[in-house]
Amino acid sequence: MSNLNPAAMAQQLGKGLLSFPVTHFDDGGRFAEGAYRAHCASMLEQELAGLFAAGGTGEFFSLAPDEVISVTSAAVEVAKGRVPVVLSGAVVGARVQASNGDRLALG
């Protein structure tokens, strides 16, 4: 379901429940990928219209750019094309632009 045009994305996201998985962190404040993947997989057992990765619950501002890529990549891999994975754009434009190419490459 990657690379949907805006109209197709709006149609897909309008079909049902939008899911905002909380990004998991370990005791050292690092991204806990295994726990996050399990959380996304559990959410995907429901009928969802899309996943909002890397900060839809407010933690985006505490993620470094490389962590955003890791979180988003994990969500994309777990979703396996079943639903679109939407990345938050709730940051200053320069930060988004700096890693935009990496994000687009995720699918």
pLDDT at 89: 61
pLDDT at 1: 44
Percent of the chain residues past pLDDT 70, beyond the cut: 79
Q: How far apart are CA 78 and CA 98, in angstroms?
A: 25
Asked if 49 and 83 touch (Cβ cutoff 8 Å), the reply is: yes
**Residues 42-92 pLDDT 10s:** 999 999 999 999 877 778 778 888 888 899 999 999 999 999 998 866 554
- What tokens appear for 1 in the block? 């379901």
Main-chain phi, psi angles of 51, to 5 degrees: -110, 135
For the chain, give every domain's residue range: 15-87
Sequential DSSP letters for the chain: -TT--HHHHHHHHTTSEEE-PPPPB-TTS-B-HHHHHHHHHHHTTS-EEEEEESSTTTGGGGS-HHHHHHHHHHHHHHHTTSS-EEE---S-HHHHHHHHHHHHHT-
Q: Is the dihedral of CA 7, 102, 16, 81 positive or negative?
A: positive
**Spacing of C-alpha 84 from chain mean position:** 9
- What tokens appear for 5 in the block? 């045009």
Q: Is the pLDDT of residue 31 over 80?
A: yes
